Structure 1
Amino acid sequence: MKRWIFLLVLLVVTFALASCGGNNNTDSDQQNNMGGSSNQNENASQKAVTVDLQSGEGESAGTATLEQVSEGVKVTLNGENIPKGTHGFHIHEKGTCEAPDFKSADGHFNPGNTKHGFDTSEGPHAGDMPNITVGEDGTVKMSYVAEDVTLEKGQDNSLLGDGGRALVIHQGKDDGKSQPSGDAGDRFACGTISE
């Protein structure tokens, strides 16, 4: 009798394990296959955004990838065709890049209403980032985590929705303290951050 109970329990456990392991589709996978969406899928689509940067003359200035990470948004720049030297690199308020001057991108993204610059006690803007240094070949590769922004929609500090934002490379170096934008000079290149 004990043997039959043992075999019955073993059969039930085997059946239960087979049922759990047989279907690898999650609810979100099923919704994807059926054309639906879920919050998980929406968040996944917000985890990486590619931005194409263009100079005021319409030439490619490279790309930037924005990824949501636990500390904020990681910005990875692969720049090209940029003049050698040090340049200010910022997130700007509006997601419009009208050449040749890109003034349509407005000022630095500043939802916290702070002062500009890492060297200012009341700063920085959420959109302030370190300067980039471009080599002789006109290229630059850098990564930076912008801690005061997010790719989550509906947040005051979101880079998505509400028309988006823009990435801007300036002609000159950001001095880290001059108001309102670090005395970085004209805007050399711009790219729209959008969904």
Structure 2
Amino acid sequence: MKKGTLVLAALALIFAASCKSDKKETKATETTTSPTPVAEEVASAPKKVKIALEAKSESNVTGNAVFTEENGTVTMVAILGGLEPGMHAIHLHEKADCSSPDGKSTGGHWNPTGQPHGKWGDAAGYHKGDIGNFNADDNGNGTITFSTDEWCIGCGDANKDILGKGVIVHQGTDDFKTQPTGDAGGRVSCGGIIQ
């Protein structure tokens, strides 16, 4: 009888140990399984293109322009020197080709939607390249800042993508009505928007 009791006691201990082991494994499994963490939204870095503007048409007009895209808006900041004091037009043109001495290798104003030339935002229409005018001070220095959600940098949309376009600074002022150029005069500075 003692032998039977010992065997039963030994079996009970083995069974209890086995159950404890199962419980530990279950607990271990439960603690390693956790809910999937919620992915945090990571803000993408702004896209940026900086270009040099070189003198054209025997002028001394040089500078640079920086295009930055952030949250669906592109901002252009252009800084120029060597201008005649007064107002000057600046436009985006069809091609980033500044190879000709007069800047005409850039083609006409960038106008992917086939609109008439005009002032930006005018209900009568405007080219996607019709930026407008800016003032050069008595020392011939000028700066213009322009922002729009109608442009993008490298998005591939032919109606919005400014990559591959040219920046042209004109000798005169855009009158916002003469077709197709605004009667802005010669092209005195040029830069291609390329990465």
TM-score, structure 1 normalization:
0.71
Deviations 1:156-190 (A, max 9, x none): 12112xxx011000010000111101000111100
- Contact between 1:53 and 1:189, CA under 8 Å: does it hold in 2? yes
Quote the offset at 1:79 in angstroms. Answer: 1.1
> Is 2:108 aligned against 1:107?
yes
> Is 2:161 aligned against 1:158?
yes
Moved more, 96-105 or 50-59: 50-59
The unaligned stretches of length 5 or more in structure 2 are 1-26, 38-42
Counterpart CA distance in 1 for 2:73 and 2:109 is: 17
Quote the offset at 1:152 in angstroms. Answer: 2.9
Quote the offset at 1:60 in angstroms. Answer: 5.8
2:23 alignment partner in structure 1: none
**Structure 1 residues 60 and 176: alpha-carbon distance in aligned structure 2, compared to 1, 3 A threshold:** closer
Quote the offset at 1:71 in angstroms. Answer: 4.9
Counterpart CA distance in 1 for 2:154 and 2:161 is: 6
How many residue pairs match? The answer is: 161
Quote the offset at 1:151 in angstroms. Answer: 0.6
- Contact between 1:169 and 1:190, CA under 8 Å: does it hold in 2? yes
Larger C-alpha radius of gyration, 1 or 2? 2
Q: How does 1:1-195 map to 2 (within 5 A)?
A: 44=45, 47-56=47-56, 57=58, 59=60, 61-118=62-119, 121-156=123-158, 157-160=160-163, 164-195=164-195
Counterpart CA distance in 2 for 1:169 and 1:146 is: 19
RMSD, aligned α-carbons: 3.0
- Contact between 1:111 and 1:126, CA under 8 Å: does it hold in 2? yes
* Residue aligned with 2:105, SS: helix
Deviations 1:88-110 (A, max 9, x none): 10000011012421110001111
- Contact between 2:170 and 2:188, CA under 8 Å: does it hold in 1? yes
TM-score, structure 2 normalization:
0.71
2:9 alignment partner in structure 1: none
What is the one-letter code of the residue matched to 2:140? G
Q: Identity across aligned pairs (percent)?
A: 32
What is the one-letter code of the residue matched to 2:162? L
What is the one-letter code of the residue matched to 2:54? Q
What is the one-letter code of the residue matched to 2:152? T
- Contact between 2:59 and 2:188, CA under 8 Å: does it hold in 1? no
**Structure 1 residues 60 and 130: alpha-carbon distance in aligned structure 2, compared to 1, 3 A threshold:** closer
What is the one-letter code of the residue matched to 2:75? K
* Residue aligned with 1:178, SS: coil
